């Protein structure tokens, strides 16, 4: 018995000794990789690679003793590497020993609070100079300069090194990402399609068909709203095409220029922001994907976008608000007075003589001598819509999901889209759509090949500003990832005991303020998405929320950034779409802003208090949307008055 006991004990000791391998490594068998960018108090990886392939194979799965600054750690070897997680508390000489092999590095961690400066400076510069490109550039430059300084460069050399890092590291890394390139290609292709179906008369044909049904102020307003919804694929094209086309008809029907500007402005961005296939979707998916990558989530960008639509209260409430106003034939606030003047032919606001910028105007012009035909627009649009949906199903189809009787239809649909390769789907469908537009244009001899290609190139050019914002936004996102900005923000919120349920509402308000101040919803999304998505997730997980509850808040935050940006854009007098709406409608700009603001504030308040906030507390959106619609109806019913019954002085 004793022999058996001691024999077993001896065997256990041998096994333990072999588990904690005491192999004496030589210098050429070990490679220690320290992080290039070290941030204070943030747990980061130090990797020890065993460079001898045969030795790494022999030791795979065993444990070895590693000495880190006199502290012994017993760590496993996995895939030929040993991983050390260290939080770099202060500036120090870091020494790692494996047997007799030693590696040392002097580390100077970047204080975590500095990580907030790049996005904060980007926001402040945008607010001061009201220009997004320079603001984002400054944010990247500052972040790169901070990194260079703590890597050992002097102050002035860090400024120079940071400037060079912008182009050779951050912009280059943003562009070599295959998903990012897919987004740029898709956005350019769909813009080219929009330009071509405008130039070949397809869009004008759709307008002509629908405008026949506009015979009164109510029907004219409804047709304008319907066109705004139908031209969902680009907010600029929506604004310019609908405004320029419907303006003469609106004058004949005595619809005020203010009302026309409001309808086209408040259908353009809301529809473009929530539709499946638009010039917006590429940017939206990009920002969401970056958030997913930071958190290492097993979710797809398109799946998150699809689920976030359930929390996109502002766009849906805005579209419903306009429709109820038209249906009841009432208005309130400054818009009521403007409509009354139009009905009584007083039009004291006058007609502005300003013209939309020549290049923008060319985008919506039909080439000379072309008879507009609606199918030239309808066919490419149907191809891109159904092509995207078909491609999503093709790349995400799983027979087991659709044979699962325990799942509802929407759960199956969400799972399928979540599993799909959204970038392939968008690229395939957009290319087919553009090809069909080219074939339709040339086969009918509407344009020759040269003019057709010039139309395509003109469409590409329209996306240059958007591509610039995207690339700079990706660079800012990479800076915030390297500096762990989300950790800093989440730590602040945790210390302040901010409930994760409040984050979506706060996000909506912040996005609205930034968008209002900068006049750019795209710029706002570029700045906020990389910050709030990881922050919201970390905060929710720290509060102990289940995965599904955290994911629900994550979807709500994704929607809040987007919809808050659109809301602020609607309220802002310096917004590009607000200005374009004024010009395309020939409405004095200040009158458009003044008459639209009460309506935008109404739907914005409903979006927060009857949508985003209660949805965060897990109240079903199936209840919230109907309650919100009913509330909007009651506000319009109580405060709205018919313009025909409202007397105005000349």
Helical spans, DSSP H, in 496-644: 503-518, 521-542, 547-571, 576-584, 589-607, 613-616, 621-639
Q: Please give the helix or strand (H or E) that residue 368 lies within, else none.
A: none
Q: Which pLDDT band holds residue 277 (cuts at 50, 70, 90)?
A: low
Q: How far apart are CA 68 and CA 65, in angstroms?
A: 10
Count of H helices and E strands in the chain?
30, 10
Q: Please give the helix or strand (H or E) that residue 28 lies within, else none.
A: none
Mean pLDDT of 568-584: 77
Using CA atoms, how far residue 540 sits from 140, 508, 566, in Å, is 28, 17, 26
Domain ranges of the chain: 20-109, 113-176, 180-366+449-645
Decide yes or no: CATH 2.60.120 for domain 20-109. no
Q: At what angle do helices 235-252 and 576-584 cross, to 10 degrees?
A: 30
Q: Provide the residue count of the chain.
A: 650
Q: How far apart are CA 278 and CA 284, in angstroms?
A: 10
Summarised one tens digit per residue, pLDDT across range 77-101 is 888 888 888 888 888 788 888 877 7
Q: Please give the helix or strand (H or E) that residue 101 lies within, else none.
A: strand 101-107
Give me the residues paired with residue 330 across strands.
Answer: 642
Summarised one tens digit per residue, pLDDT across range 336-373 is 998 888 877 654 444 444 444 444 445 456 666 678 88
447-468 in b/e form (b: 16+ CB < 10 A) is beeeebeebbebbeebbeebbe
592 and 258 Cβ atoms separated by less than 8 Å = yes
User: What confidence score (pLDDT) does residue 21 get?
Assistant: 47
494 and 542 Cβ atoms separated by less than 8 Å = yes
pTM higher than the cut 0.85: no
Residue 437 scores a pLDDT above 80? yes
Q: How far apart are CA 580 and CA 353, in angstroms?
A: 14
582 vs 162, residue with greater confidence:
162
Q: Which of 29-43, 118-132, 317-331, 341-355 has the highest mean pLDDT?
A: 317-331
Residue 255, token pair as written in the block: 């619809």
Give me the residues paired with residue 44 across strands.
Answer: 86
Q: How far apart are CA 561 and CA 527, in angstroms?
A: 10
User: What confidence score (pLDDT) does residue 646 get?
Assistant: 66
Q: How far apart are CA 129 and CA 149, in angstroms?
A: 27
90 and 110 Cβ atoms separated by less than 8 Å = no
Q: Which of 57-66, 248-257, 634-643 has the highest mean pLDDT?
A: 634-643
């Amino acid at each position: 018995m004793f022999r058996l006991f001691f024999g077993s004990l001896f065997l256990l000791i041998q096994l333990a000794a072999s588990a904690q391998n005491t192999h004496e490594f030589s210098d050429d068998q070990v490679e220690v990789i320290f992080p290039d960018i070290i941030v204070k108090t943030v747990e980061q990886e130090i990797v020890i690679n065993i460079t001898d392939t045969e030795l790494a194979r022999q030791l795979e799965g065993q444990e070895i003793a590693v000495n880190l600054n006199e502290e012994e750690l017993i760590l496993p070897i996995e895939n030929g590497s040993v991983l050390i997680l260290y939080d770099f508390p202060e500036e120090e000489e870091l020494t790692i020993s494996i047997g007799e092999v030693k590696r040392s590095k002097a580390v100077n961690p970047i204080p975590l609070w500095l990580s907030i400066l790049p996005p904060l400076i980007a926001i402040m510069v945008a607010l001061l100079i009201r220009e997004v490109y320079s603001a984002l550039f400054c944010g990247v430059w500052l972040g790169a300069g901070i990194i260079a300084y703590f890597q050992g460069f002097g102050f002035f050399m860090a400024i120079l090194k940071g400037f060079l890092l912008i182009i050779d590291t951050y912009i280059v890394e943003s562009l070599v990402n295959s998903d990012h390139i897919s987004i740029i290609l898709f956005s350019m292709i769909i813009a080219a399609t929009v330009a071509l179906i405008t130039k070949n008369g397809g869009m004008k044909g759709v307008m002509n068909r629908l405008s026949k049904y506009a015979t009164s102020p109510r029907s004219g307003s409804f047709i304008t709203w319907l066109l705004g919804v139908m031209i969902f694929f680009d907010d600029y094209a929506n604004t310019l095409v609908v405004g320029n086309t419907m303006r003469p008809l609106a004058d004949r029907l005595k619809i005020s220029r203010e009302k026309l500007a409001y309808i086209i402005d408040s259908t353009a961005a809301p529809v473009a922001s929530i539709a499946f296939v638009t010039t917006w979707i590429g940017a939206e998916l990009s920002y969401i994907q970056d958030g997913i990558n930071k958190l290492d989530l097993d979710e797809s960008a398109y799946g998150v976008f699809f689920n976030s639509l359930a929390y996109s209260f502002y766009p849906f409430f805005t579209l419903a608000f306009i429709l109820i106003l038209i249906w009841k034939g009432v208005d309130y606030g400054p818009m009521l007075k403007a409509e009354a003047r139009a009905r009584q032919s007083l039009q004291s606001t006058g007609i502005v003589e300003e013209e939309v910028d020549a290049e923008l105007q060319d985008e919506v012009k039909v080439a000379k001598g072309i008879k507009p035909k609606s199918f030239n627009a309808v066919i490419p649009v149907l191809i891109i819509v159904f092509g995207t949906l078909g491609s999503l199903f093709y790349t995400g189809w799983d027979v087991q999901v659709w044979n699962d009787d325990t799942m509802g239809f929407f759960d199956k649909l969400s799972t399928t889209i979540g599993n799909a390769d959204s970038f392939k789907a968008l690229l395939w469908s957009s290319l087919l759509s553009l090809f069909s537009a080219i074939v339709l244009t040339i086969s009918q001899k509407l344009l020759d090949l040269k003019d057709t290609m010039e139309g395509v190139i003109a469409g590409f050019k329209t996306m240059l500003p958007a591509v610039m914002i995207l690339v700079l936004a990706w660079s800012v996102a990479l800076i915030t990832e390297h500096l762990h900005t989300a950790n800093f923000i989440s730590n602040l919120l945790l210390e302040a005991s901010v409930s994760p349920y409040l984050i979506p509402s706060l996000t909506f308000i912040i996005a609205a303020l930034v968008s209002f101040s900068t006049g750019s919803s795209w710029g706002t999304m570029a700045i906020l998405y990389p910050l709030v998505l990881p922050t919201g997730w970390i905060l929710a997980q720290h509060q102990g929320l289940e995965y599904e509850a955290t994911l629900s808040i994550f979807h709500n935050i994704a929607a809040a950034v987007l919809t808050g940006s659109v809301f602020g854009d609607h309220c802002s007098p310096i917004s590009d779409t607000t200005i374009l709406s004024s010009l395309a409608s020939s409405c004095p700009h200040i009158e458009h802003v003044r008459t639209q603001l009460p309506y935008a504030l109404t739907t914005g308040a409903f979006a927060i208090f009857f949508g985003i906030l209660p949805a965060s507390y897990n109240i079903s959106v199936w209840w919230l949307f109907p309650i919100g619609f009913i509330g909007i109806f009651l506000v319009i019913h109580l405060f709205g008055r018919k313009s025909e019954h409202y007397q105005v002085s000349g």
